Amino acid sequence: MTYRKEALVEGEYYHIYNRGNSKQNIFTDDLDRDRFTKLLYLCNSEKSINFRDDIVGKKIDAFDFNRGEELVSIGAWVLMPNHFHLYISPRRRLGDLGEETNSISVFVQKLCTSYSMYFNKKYKRTGKLFEGPFKAVHTKNDVQSKYIFSYIHLNPLKLIDPLWKEKEIRNVKKSIEFLNKYEWSSYLDFRKIKRLRGRILNLKVFPQYFLDKEIFDKEIFDWVTFNK
């Protein structure tokens, strides 16, 4: 277990991210992305889960597995070619050999270890997949907290326009359409699209900034057009 210098406090909100070692891609195809999203759901559990035995062996969908109590609440997520972002709140602290271990650390370690094992086996590689311990940024106020939801969901725009933040987006319609089709984030869940990956989220403990699809769509549109 890697112990962190900063405390990850129950009931607070954290922007979590990690990237591939030497900035290498950690997702090379949709099968990789699909496995990671399933692990986002499965590893968010106090149970020890073996994907091959518990999911493949029992011929069930990962999102139908009874994982029991969650370790963390996940408010938003996105996968990019060489990194991922999560917005998380710890559910509670766990006892570990008499010491207090934060549930975020347990969850992210389970997630990254499970995915690294999958990735190394699939691509016949060895060594570290991720650059190092995950980064955690505490959101300290309402403005920052609301911004993180938009920041995470707008990340995929870098795939079609790497400098979209620095310059004016010429084709707003194309950008919005791209986001509306990008399935590797919680963006579609905030737009109320029904899908199994929606089970990754637990928004009950997060501020309810986007009570309906129209409010969320307006927030995204305002960011995409902010420098016009």
What is the fold, at CATH topology level, of the domain defined by 14-138? Alpha-Beta Plaits (3.30.70)
Q: What is the pLDDT of residue 29?
A: 97
Percentage of the chain beyond pLDDT 90 is 79
The pLDDT score that the predictor gives to residue 3 is 46
Stretch 28-41: mean pLDDT: 98
Distance of alpha carbon 29 from alpha carbon 185, whole angstroms: 15
For the stretch 161-187, pLDDT in tens is 988 888 878 899 999 999 999 999 999
Segment 68-118, tens digit of pLDDT: 999 999 999 999 999 999 999 998 655 553 445 688 999 999 999 999 999
The domain ranges of the chain are 14-138, 142-194+206-224
Torsion angle, alpha carbons of 59, 183, 37, 127, to 10 = 120
Question: pTM higher than 0.85, yes or no?
Answer: yes
How far is residue 125's CA from residue 23's CA, in Å, rounded to a whole number? 16
pLDDT of residue 97: 39
pLDDT at res. 2? 46
pLDDT exceeds cutoff 60 at 49:
yes
pLDDT tens-digit profile of 122-159?
999 999 999 989 999 999 899 999 999 999 999 999 99
